[in-house]
């Protein structure tokens, strides 16, 4: 991964970044990326696009966002799958995922958040307090949601540093909860209309629904190829594609992923793979993994396993369901968005048995030999639900390994030992 040739420092200064801290952060990513990604063999050629995207992670894409704002558009940050990107796009916004996957400014963070807060929350607060994330600094608005308690309360503190709109997400899926969620979707429309100075119309919303569905369809194609044996793409590369989906330009991303899907389909037809056909196949489920958190995938794949699917927000939960494109009026489209987004199975909901069904169904469809449950420490919803996932897997005859981790590298040795023993059991 080469460093960008363009000097982006004036742009970063104009965004208000702390250049010294930002330099330190940015110099760490190529090392991690090289070790996890560029040491792989038989990678699909199309992944070169993602190498380029990662080399310009705070460069070209940020410039595009800055230019978009200069042309009258908005940039809206999100932390969760429940926030509808379609509405942001329909109102001339670019949606960027702000979840971060690296420890930053934890000293400062722990002055305002308990030490035993999950790494995802500490990380996004650290990036904001440390002023090292150009995506966060480019935002006109940040949209939060009442999912877990940690996020909900952290948004109150984040609101002291940036404009924040919080959507109230119900925690059950009864008809009255849908009514609440439909109201929250409309409240988001009102807020985004104020911020953007534009009006939601049937035309701009239909276009945005189609564009985001096309992105999901491309990811569905790419991931469908992973059912094959040998598997034509590593789990790490498939994870990267979803991680980048949260902030890349939508039509360009869709075109590039479709190109990779073409390549993967040809590889499957030719029987070409990235791992031997007898490599243990693993499904990963749990909390999301944001850039540059590739730790557990790297451990699994360096130990000789291959991740063939993920039931995660940085995985199937992101792309597996489409928004109904048949409604013709705005109200019908907002209904379709309400239904699609409420149909995501996050552990913040109770009951959440549909997630257990998804885990087992995906493990079977992708011919997984075992399941790795990977949750962030101090994530109460997922860590408790891990018991139910473990029981469902046991009933389905699927061995599981449970990992509770964070963003540090301290546990890599111990994780490697446990993963190696688990993979041996699957062989």
Sites of contact with ligand BJ8 (CB under 6 A):
80-82, 118, 120-121, 147-148, 150-151, 287-288, 313, 344, 346, 348, 376, 379, 381-382
Nearest approach, Cβ of residue 148 and ligand BJ8 (Å): 3
Instruction: Specify the residue, 348 or 419, whose C-beta has the smaller distance to ligand BJ8.
Output: 348
Instruction: Specify the residue, 15 or 141, whose C-beta has the smaller distance to ligand BJ8.
Output: 141
Nearest approach, Cβ of residue 194 and ligand BJ8 (Å): 24
Instruction: Specify the residue, 81 or 109, whose C-beta has the smaller distance to ligand BJ8.
Output: 81
- The Cα 131–Cα 365 span in angstroms is 43
Instruction: Specify the residue, 119 or 371, whose C-beta has the smaller distance to ligand BJ8.
Output: 119
Nearest approach, Cβ of residue 269 and ligand BJ8 (Å): 34
Residue 363, judged by CB atoms within 10 A of its CB (0-12, 13-18, 19+), counts as buried
- Judge whether 261 and 298 are in contact, CB under 8 Å: no
Nearest approach, Cβ of residue 158 and ligand BJ8 (Å): 12
Nearest approach, Cβ of residue 239 and ligand BJ8 (Å): 15
Element (H, E) at 5: none
Q: What is the DSSP string of 139-178?
A: -SEEEEE-SSHHHHHHHHHHTTTS-EEEE---SS-SHHHH
- Judge whether 427 and 284 are in contact, CB under 8 Å: no
Instruction: Specify the residue, 188 or 275, whose C-beta has the smaller distance to ligand BJ8.
Output: 188
Nearest approach, Cβ of residue 419 and ligand BJ8 (Å): 21
Instruction: Specify the residue, 222 or 376, whose C-beta has the smaller distance to ligand BJ8.
Output: 376
- The Cα 116–Cα 246 span in angstroms is 27
- Judge whether 363 and 371 are in contact, CB under 8 Å: yes
Instruction: Specify the residue, 78 or 330, whose C-beta has the smaller distance to ligand BJ8.
Output: 78
- The Cα 22–Cα 104 span in angstroms is 10
Nearest approach, Cβ of residue 346 and ligand BJ8 (Å): 3
Element (H, E) at 110: helix 106-112
Nearest approach, Cβ of residue 72 and ligand BJ8 (Å): 30
Cα dihedral 128→131→134→140 (10° resolution) = 60
Residues sharing a CB contact under 8 Å with residue 291, sequence separation 6 or more, in sequence order: 29, 54, 57, 100, 101, 240, 243, 244
Residue 394, judged by CB atoms within 10 A of its CB (0-12, 13-18, 19+), counts as exposed
């Amino acid at each position: 991964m080469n460093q960008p040739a363009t000097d982006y420092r004036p742009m970063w200064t104009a965004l208000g970044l702390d250049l010294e801290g930002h330099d330190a952060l940015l110099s760490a990513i190529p090392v991690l990326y090289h070790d996890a990604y560029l040491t792989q063999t038989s990678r699909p050629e199309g992944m070169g696009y993602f190498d380029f995207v990662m080399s310009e992670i705070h460069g070209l894409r940020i410039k595009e966002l800055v230019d978009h704002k200069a042309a009258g558009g908005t940039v809206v940050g999100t932390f969760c799958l429940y926030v509808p990107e379609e509405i942001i796009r329909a109102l001339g916004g670019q949606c960027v995922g702000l979840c971060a996957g690296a420890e930053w400014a934890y000293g400062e963070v722990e002055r305002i958040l308990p030490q035993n807060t999950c790494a995802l929350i500490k990380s996004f607060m650290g990036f904001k307090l440390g002023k090292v994330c150009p995506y966060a600094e480019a935002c006109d608005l940040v949209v939060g949601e009442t999912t877990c308690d940690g996020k909900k309360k952290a948004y109150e503190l984040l609101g002291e540093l940036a404009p924040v709109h919080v959507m109230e997400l119900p925690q059950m899926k009864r008809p009255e909860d849908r009514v609440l969620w439909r109201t929250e979707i409309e409240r988001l429309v009102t807020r985004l209309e104020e911020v953007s100075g534009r009006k939601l119309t049937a035309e701009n919303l239909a276009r945005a629904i189609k564009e985001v569905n096309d992105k999901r369809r491309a990811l569905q194609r790419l991931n469908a190829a992973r059912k094959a044996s040998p598997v034509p793409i590593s789990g790490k590369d498939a994870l990267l594609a979803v991680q980048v989906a949260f902030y890349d330009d939508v039509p360009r991303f869709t075109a590039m992923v479709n190109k990779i899907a073409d390549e993967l389909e040809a590889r499957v037809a030719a029987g070409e793979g990235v791992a031997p056909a007898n490599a243990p196949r693993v499904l990963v489920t749990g909390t999301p993994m944001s850039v540059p958190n590739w730790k557990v995938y790297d451990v699994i794949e360096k130990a000789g396993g291959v991740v063939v699917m993920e039931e995660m927000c940085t995985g199937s939960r992101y792309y597996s369901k489409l928004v109904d494109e048949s409604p013709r009026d705005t109200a019908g489209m907002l209904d379709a968005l309400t239904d699609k987004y409420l149909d995501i199975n996050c552990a913040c909901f109770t009951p959440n048995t549909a997630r257990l069904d998804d885990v087992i169904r995906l493990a079977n469809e992708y011919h997984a030999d075992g399941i790795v449950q990977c949750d962030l420490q101090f994530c109460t919803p997922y860590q408790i639900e891990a018991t139910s996932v473990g029981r469902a897997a046991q009933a389905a005859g699927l061995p599981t390994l449970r990992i509770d981790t964070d963003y540090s590298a301290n546990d890599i040795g111990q994780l490697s030992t446990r993963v190696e023993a688990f993979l041996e059991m699957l062989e």
